[in-house]
Amino acid sequence: MVDAAIGNARRTAAQIGGAKAIAADITDESSVATAIDEVVAAFGRIDILHNNVGVPMAGNFSSFSAADWMRGFSLNCIGAACTMRSAMPHLLRSHGSIVNVSSIAAIRYTGMNYAIYNASKAALDQLTVAVALEYAAQGIRANAILPGLLDTEMGRGLVSPDAVDERDKRSPTGKQGDVWDVANAAIFLASDEARYINAHLLVVDGGLSRRA
């Protein structure tokens, strides 16, 4: 269980039981490699790699600097490439599974000015497909989850408190999803029950992205 906020990782590890919390910087390749080494040292192998990193950067397109673009892509796409590269030798030995968390912002305009987020998550989608097809014959599967509106701490931080109900109303189901909806999808994609699902972009949004 690798997280930038070690407290969050420890709380999650405690809920899972038998897990180890490790801090790492997804934008630092050496930090990622060290974290992967720590995981292997603790557990002896890697069967599943789950990349769940995403940071929206709001703003008008013309306001973003080159440094903003580099940081956004480092956080939302390049970091996942680093973790996959570091974990790949171990995943090849275990015939493992990769699950990357993207966003419906990768496939449609969400009504918010997130040019960097949209572009970097779209890149993550195609990175997932490229890795999935390159390594399929070697027993690796790679898929991505594209969540829609979720009632999470980060989601609430993006809007005013009185806008949460409005986010609920935007969903065709009348209610946002939550972290468990994404977690359940990830568990399925990583499991043997999904053994013939590869290079798939699984939308988890209550039907929002199908709405005109």
Which class for 34: exposed (0-12), middle (13-18), buried (19 or more C-beta within 10 A)? Answer: middle
Annotated catalytic residue within 109, 117, 135, 196: 117
What does the longest C-alpha to C-alpha distance in the chain come to?
50
CB 103 within 8 A of CB 54: yes
Amino acid at 38: E
Reduced to 3 states (helix: H, G, I; strand: E, B; else coil), residue 204 is: strand
β-strand pairing of 48-51 with 22-23:
unpaired
Could you confirm whether 135 is annotated as catalytic? no
Reduced to 3 states (helix: H, G, I; strand: E, B; else coil), residue 150 is: strand
For residue 194, the Cα-to-chain-centroid distance in whole angstroms is 18
Catalytic residues: 117
